């Protein structure tokens, strides 16, 4: 079943991310744009290798390593439509849960200055990373530096955008949303947004690990980069999920306070009515105590986590996948050293 996003309100177009606005300038479908960028980067890499054919010849890993930046760039551009669709579904779900749905898209405002700051930070990190390269030939070095700048800039903007949107969603959930403890359908798009953002970074980690050699994985640069990505991935997921969990706890407490009050009043009426009451009258007084007692137990047993079995399976797979790839890479590297 294809997941379709709801119609976008006008403010959604005004508040697109920097990546989304950039893609929109070309007037192409987003996935076609990602494919075109991949073809262009591949052609430029082949030209650089043809012009300086002996540059990466010292190691097959050096040649393989040059494909990392194009792969990550295409991955980020290709995954962006899914992120946009999940965000629109989450906003549509929020509009169905708040008293004034028109305020949900209006409350979100893209900070272009912060996005461009993220671009500059990513570019600076790319330049710092370039000092560790051991590639001969100006063609390969120029290509690697340019693609590194683009890759880390896209990564920085994506990290900022994910954090900012997740923070915005959490703020609305904490302040304006009243959840129904027993109706989980509106929660699914909210949970999937945080899950999708987290899986985006996990997918990037797994993809980049495929291009890393045993020696590269133990370098300071790799440790710093992967540590940041893992922390951001976990932070994004648990921030979005935790805000929903807290809102569900509040809903549980409100529901519990109401049903407990009814149960206590019914129990008090039963105690008062037992004195000299006929069996039929006592039974009528006992029924509300049973009903409110059962409902109170259902409220207490209701889960306050917005998970379904599929989300749990995907989360477990996202945790196992990068660890498995890393262990396999280390094992292969150790076997070659031995």
pLDDT of residue 10: 44
Beta-carbon contacts of 118 under 8 Å, excluding residues fewer than 6 positions away, are 153, 156, 157, 159, 160
Of the chain, the percentage scoring pLDDT greater than 90 comes to: 10
Beta-carbon contacts of 14 under 8 Å, excluding residues fewer than 6 positions away, are none
Q: Note the pTM of the prediction, 2 decimals.
A: 0.76
pLDDT of residue 55: 47
pLDDT of residue 123: 93
Distance CA 82, CA 200 (A): 10
The dihedral built from the CA positions of residue 10, 12, 15 and 21, taken in this order, carries a sign that is negative
pLDDT of residue 73: 93
Mean pLDDT of the chain: 78
Cβ(205)–Cβ(233) under 8 Å?
yes
Cβ(130)–Cβ(148) under 8 Å?
yes
pLDDT of residue 277: 63
pLDDT along the chain (338 residues), means of 10: 48 66 83 89 81 53 77 91 87 78 62 91 87 64 86 91 84 76 80 82 84 73 74 76 83 89 86 70 79 89 75 71 75 65
pLDDT of residue 14: 47
pLDDT of residue 150: 93
H/E/C letters for each residue in the chain?
Answer: CCCCCCCCCHHHHHCCCHHHHHHHCCCCCHHHHHHHHHHHHHHHHHHHHHHCCCCCCCCHHHHHHCCHHHHHHHHHHHHHHHHHHHHHHHHHHHHCCCCCCCHHHHCCCCCHHHHHHHHHHHHHHHHHHHCCCCCCCHHHHHHHHHHHHHHHHHHHHHHHHHHHHHHHHHHHHHHHCCCCCCCCCCHHHHHHHHHHHHHHHHHHHHHHHCCCCHHHHCCHHHHHHHHHHHHHHHHHHHHHHHHHHHHHHHHHHHHHHHHHHHHHHHHHHHHHHCCCCCHHHHHHHHHHHHHHHHHHHHHHHCCCCCCCHHHHHHHHHHHHHHHHHHHHHHHHHHHHHC
CA count, 13 A, side-chain hemisphere, 56: 20
Beta-carbon contacts of 211 under 8 Å, excluding residues fewer than 6 positions away, are 64, 65, 67, 68, 71
pLDDT of residue 124: 93
The domain spans of the chain are 10-244+307-337, 255-301
């Amino acid at each position: 079943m294809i997941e379709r996003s709801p119609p976008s309100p006008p403010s959604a177009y005004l508040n697109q991310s920097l990546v989304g606005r950039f893609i929109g300038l070309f007037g192409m479908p987003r996935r076609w744009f990602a494919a075109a960028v991949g073809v262009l980067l591949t052609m430029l890499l082949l030209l650089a290798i043809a012009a300086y054919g002996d540059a990466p010849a010292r190691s097959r890993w050096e040649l393989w390593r040059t494909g990392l930046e194009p792969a990550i760039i295409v991955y980020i551009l290709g995954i962006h439509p899914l992120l946009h669709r999940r965000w629109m579904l989450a906003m549509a779900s929020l509009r169905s849960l708040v008293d004034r749905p028109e305020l949900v898209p209006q409350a979100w405002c893209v900070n272009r200055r912060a996005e461009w700051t993220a671009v500059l930070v990513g570019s600076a990190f790319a330049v710092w990373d370039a000092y560790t390269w051991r590639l001969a030939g100006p063609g390969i070095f120029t290509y690697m530096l340019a693609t590194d700048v683009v890759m880390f800039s896209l990564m920085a903007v994506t990290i900022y955008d994910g954090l900012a949107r997740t923070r915005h969603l959490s703020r609305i959930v904490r302040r304006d949303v009243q959840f129904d403890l027993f109706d989980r359908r509106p929660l699914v798009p909210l949970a999937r947004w945080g899950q999708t953002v987290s899986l985006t970074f996990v997918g990037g980690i797994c993809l980049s690990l495929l291009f890393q050699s045993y020696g590269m994985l133990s370098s300071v640069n790799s440790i710093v980069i992967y540590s940041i990505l893992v922390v951001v991935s976990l932070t994004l997921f648990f921030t979005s999920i935790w805000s929903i969990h807290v809102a569900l706890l509040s809903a549980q407490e409100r529901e519990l306070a109401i049903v407990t009050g009814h149960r206590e009043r019914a129990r008090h009426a039963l105690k008062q009515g037992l004195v000299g009451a006929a069996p039929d009258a006592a039974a009528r007084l006992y029924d509300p105590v049973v009903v409110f007692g059962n409902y109170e137990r259902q409220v207490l047993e209701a889960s306050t986590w917005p998970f379904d079995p599929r989300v749990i399976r995907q989360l477990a797979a996202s945790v196992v996948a990068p660890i498995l790839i890393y262990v396999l890479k280390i094992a292969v590297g150790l076997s070659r050293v031995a």
